[in-house]
């Protein structure tokens, strides 16, 4: 209906923050201020939040640190 439900939005963000081991000071932090690995994890979280039946990723961990790679693969 075009209405944002902020509580649900933050709950979903918190869920993916824990699931992908996202490192940010808060959920309100600008994405541009995060490391490249954390930015990449946010993009993946956005895709996963749409509940796709199939998701195809081409080198989703290219150029990110080992810790972020483990979180993405997990």
Give the pLDDT score at 31. Answer: 92
Three-state secondary structure call for residue 22: coil
Sorted by where each begins, the domain ranges of the chain are 6-73
Residue at token pair 């946010």: 42
At residue 53, the 3 state secondary structure works out as coil
Q: What is the pTM of this model?
A: 0.76
Residues 24-44: tens digit of each pLDDT: 888 889 999 998 888 888 888
Say if CB 17 and CB 27 are below 8 A apart: yes
pLDDT tens column, 4-26: 788 888 899 899 889 888 888 88
Position 51 pLDDT exceeds 80: yes
pLDDT score, position 33: 94
User: Looking at per-residue confidence, does 60 or 56 come out higher?
Assistant: 56
């Amino acid at each position: 209906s075009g209405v944002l439900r902020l509580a649900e939005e933050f709950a979903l963000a918190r869920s993916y923050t824990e699931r992908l081991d996202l490192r940010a000071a808060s959920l309100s932090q600008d994405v541009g201020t995060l490391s490249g690995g954390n930015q990449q994890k946010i993009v993946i979280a956005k895709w996963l939040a749409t509940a796709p039946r199939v998701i195809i990723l081409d080198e989703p961990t290219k150029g990110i640190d080992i810790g972020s790679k483990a979180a993405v693969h997990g």
